[in-house]
Amino acid sequence: MRLFVALSLPEDVRERLDMLDSGLPGARWVAAENLHLTLRFLGEVDSAQARDLDDTLSAIDAPGFALTLQGLATFGDGAKVRALYADVAPNPALLHLQAKVESAVARAGLPLERRKFKPHVTLARFKGDPGPKLGHYLGQHGLLRIGPFPVDHFLLYSSLLGAEGPHYTEEVVYDLERVGVV
């Protein structure tokens, strides 16, 4: 199965992000129910590895925290823009959790990620060059700020790729320690 570890987003946060989905030619918008913050993409994992991963993820002991989405940005630019994302306000607790997820992945014997973690919520991917509208769009929505909202769990998702786009299933929910954050 194709797996990834991510934070889900509260429904009201997803609804607010979903309202941003117009005015960009060439954009393929992520469906509201699919909006999430990836902590670690794993790709194809066999069932024995998935069980090992579930064991090591279950052993993670990390505090809950508050998350704020702040600003919009793109991966790639100009004609090479690949994705539009909501950025995340600096968040040491999120980085701490992601580092724990990374070592859980290593303990499960899965390959390490070489790329540095860049927290983001992908809003759209591009199948064509949005041209000058992208600058206008970022000017219009760039001051986006949503939150802080509480994060008290993370999840293991499976992903099925279909013609209509991916379908994500919540496989396991892992609770974080309760602390009075928001």
Residues belonging to the active site: 36, 120
Maximum Cα interatomic distance, the chain, rounded to a whole number of Å: 49
In this complex, which beta carbon is closest to ligand 2AM, that of residue 4 or of residue 65? 4
Q: How far is the CB of 162 from ligand 2AM (least distance, A)?
A: 13
Helix 92-107 to helix 47-58 angle (10° resolution) is: 140
Contact in structure between 30 and 124 (CB atoms under 8 Å) = yes
∠ CA 88-90-92, nearest 5°, is 120
Q: How far is the CB of 178 from ligand 2AM (least distance, A)?
A: 26
159 near ligand 2AM, rule: CB under 6 A? yes
Strand order in the sheet with 27-29: 27-29, 120-126, 83-88, 65-75, 145-151
Residue 49 engages ligand 2AM in binding (rule: CB under 6 A): no
> Is residue 70 close enough to count as binding ligand 2AM by CB under 6 A?
no
Q: Which is nearer to ligand 2AM, 44 or 46 (CB)?
A: 44
Site string for ligand 2AM, 4-33 (x = CB under 6 A): x-----------------------------
Taking the least distance from each CB to ligand 2AM, the nearer of 98 and 122 is 122
Please tell me the number of Cα atoms within 13 Å of 151 on its side-chain side: 23
Interaction of residue 38 with ligand 2AM, rule CB under 6 A: yes
Binding site for ligand 2AM (CB under 6 A): 4, 38, 41, 122, 159
